[in-house]
């Protein structure tokens, strides 16, 4: 493993591009000085288009889970009624956080592998529209499902217009279009180690004017995660507490790379990698876990076949430099996950497929040499709008 760089295909932390790695090695600077202020301003401005907001974003030194906690504790009060829409482990975690701080949480549990259904959400809100907030997961990293946030938010805005919409987009934002302001989302959270191509350590949290107002009266306790303290400090070019400076160097560079490509190209690359991953894994005779109508653009989950010794198989995969993620929570041992977010390239997905093919054939699985790579390649090309022999043939038949 030391002789080559592994193909890190977990859904975060993601592999870092060379220039982002180099940024992580920069010397420290005064975090109360003008150089820092310039960088912070650049990062905040660079993020706004990806959030789809013209409003304020807070950068907090914390993992994504701390970002979710910040969304809850800044906007809510104990005994507030909260609807926690959960489609997996991270939806459960979001609800658990609200409960830990005394919110009166009703869970709307969706079968894992499915997305939340706007009609079901509508029915729940028509039954009871007294919720102070609705918790939504944009991209559920544990199942590889992406919720239809615009549709879900539209239902909430219509039926329960006073409810705050708090969205976990830790592993979504930056990789797919997000229009916070247009969709009427109140708080959205993302993390440096996902689409932003950086090391973990920073959560970025945007809030709507309504959410900033809610913070004035919300009484859940917070000091470290106080978003208003962050907003006030950011306005002065600082952070209220010493920030994860080296990670901010990396995010600054990651955004520069994303801007150089352009958002449309970043989103297209993620879509192509996702299509390639799904087609390749299917050709490898792995059954995909998620309802494919809601397949995530950033992580794909597949069942571990009943007759496969996963530990041995994955050991061999890892020995060949491909690092996959296992299942979380109740899916531990039942699925595996392949991440395709951040700096991911189609070539890395094809490389992953070639390793999985090689090890599958070695293990006697029913796999045709080259088939998975070919399927992934065609899917990626088609995702990019290239007419392939396969498409042309299909068109002629």
Residues lying near a copy of itself in the complex (CB under 8 A) are found at 5-6, 8, 10, 12-16, 21-22, 24-33, 61-66, 69, 96-97, 100-102, 191, 193, 199-201, 220-225, 240-247, 250, 323, 325-326
Between 28 and 260, whose beta carbon lies closer to a copy of itself?
A: 28
CB nearer a copy of itself, residue 208 or residue 250? 250
3-state class (DSSP) for residue 206: strand
CB atoms within 10 A of CB 115: 25
Least distance (Å) between residue 16 CB and a copy of itself: 6
Min separation Cβ 176 and a copy of itself, Å? 20
**Minimum distance, C-beta of residue 78 to a copy of itself, in the bound complex (Å):** 9
Decide whether 72 or 275 has the Cβ nearer to a copy of itself: 72
Scored b (16 or more CB within 10 A) or e, 335-349 reads bbbbbbbbbbebebb
- CA separation for the pair 281, 279 (Å, rounded): 6
The burial class, CB within 10 Å (0-12 / 13-18 / 19+), for 323 is: middle
Interatomic CA distance for residues 352 and 302, integer angstroms: 14
Closer residue to a copy of itself (CB): 134 or 244: 244
CB atoms near residue 311 (< 10 Å): 10
Q: From the CB of residue 223, how many other CB atoms can be counted at a distance below 10 Å?
A: 9
Nearest approach, Cβ of residue 33 and a copy of itself (Å): 7
Pair 269, 175: CB distance under 8 Å = no
Q: Which two tokens stand for residue 271?
A: 């879509």
Nearer to a copy of itself, 42 or 157 (CB): 42
The residues pairing with 187 across neighbouring beta strands, listed in sequence order, are 166, 207
> Is 48 or 65 the residue whose CB approaches a copy of itself more closely?
65
Least Å distance, CB 220 to a copy of itself, is: 8
From the list 393, 319, 383, the residue with the least C-alpha distance to 356 is 319
- Shorter beta-carbon distance to a copy of itself: residue 96 or 365: 96
C-alpha distances in Å from residue 212, one per residue of 43, 52, 74, 179, 282: 20, 17, 9, 18, 45
Q: Cβ of residue 17: shortest distance to a copy of itself, in angstroms?
A: 10
CB of 306 to a copy of itself, least distance (A): 24
The CB-of-91 to a copy of itself minimum distance in angstroms stands at 15
First to last CA, the chain: 46
- Which residue, 193 or 208, has its beta carbon nearer to a copy of itself? 193
Nearest partner of 328 among 110, 106, 104, 87, judged by Cα: 87
């Amino acid at each position: 493993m030391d002789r080559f760089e592994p193909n890190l295909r977990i859904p975060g932390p993601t592999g870092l591009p060379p220039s982002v790695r180099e940024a992580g090695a920069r010397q420290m600077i005064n975090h109360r000085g003008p150089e820092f202020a310039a960088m912070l301003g650049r990062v905040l401005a660079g993020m706004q288009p990806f959030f789809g907001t013209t409003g304020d974003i807070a950068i907090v030194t914390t993992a994504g889970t701390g970002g979710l906690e910040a969304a809850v504790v800044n906007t809510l009060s104990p005994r507030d009624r909260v609807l926690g829409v959960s489609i997996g482990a991270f939806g459960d975690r979001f609800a658990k956080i609200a409960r830990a701080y005394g919110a009166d949480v009703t869970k709307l549990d969706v079968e894992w592998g499915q997305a939340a259904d706007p009609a079901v959400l509508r029915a729940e809100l028509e039954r009871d529209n007294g919720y102070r907030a609705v918790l939504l997961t944009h991209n559920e990293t544990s199942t590889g499902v992406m919720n239809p946030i615009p549709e879900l938010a539209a239902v909430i805005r219509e039926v329960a217009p006073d409810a705050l919409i708090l969205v976990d987009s830790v592993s979504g934002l930056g990789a797919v279009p997000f229009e916070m302001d247009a969709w009427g989302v109140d708080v959205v959270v993302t993390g440096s180690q996902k689409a932003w191509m950086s090391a973990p350590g920073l959560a970025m949290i945007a809030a709507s004017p309504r959410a900033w107002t809610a913070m004035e009266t919300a009484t859940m306790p917070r000091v470290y995660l106080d978003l208003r303290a962050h907003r006030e400090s950011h306005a002065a070019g600082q952070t209220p507490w010493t920030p994860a400076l080296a990670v901010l160097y990396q995010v600054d560079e990651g955004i520069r790379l994303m801007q150089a490509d352009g958002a449309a190209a970043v989103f297209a690359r993620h879509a192509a990698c996702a299509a390639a991953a799904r087609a390749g894994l299917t050709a490898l005779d792995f059954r995909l876990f998620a309802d494919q109508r809601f397949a995530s653009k950033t992580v794909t989950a597949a069942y571990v076949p009943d007759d496969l010794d996963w530990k041995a198989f994955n050991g061999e995969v890892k020995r060949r430099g491909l690092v996959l993620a296992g299942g979380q929570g109740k899916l531990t041992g039942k699925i595996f996950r392949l991440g395709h977010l951040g700096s991911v390239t189609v070539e890395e997905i094809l490389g992953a497929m070639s390793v999985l093919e090689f090890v599958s054939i070695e293990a006697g699985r029913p796999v045709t040499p080259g088939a998975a790579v070919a399927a992934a390649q065609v899917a990626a090309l088609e995702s990019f709008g290239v007419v392939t022999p396969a498409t042309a043939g299909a068109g002629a038949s």
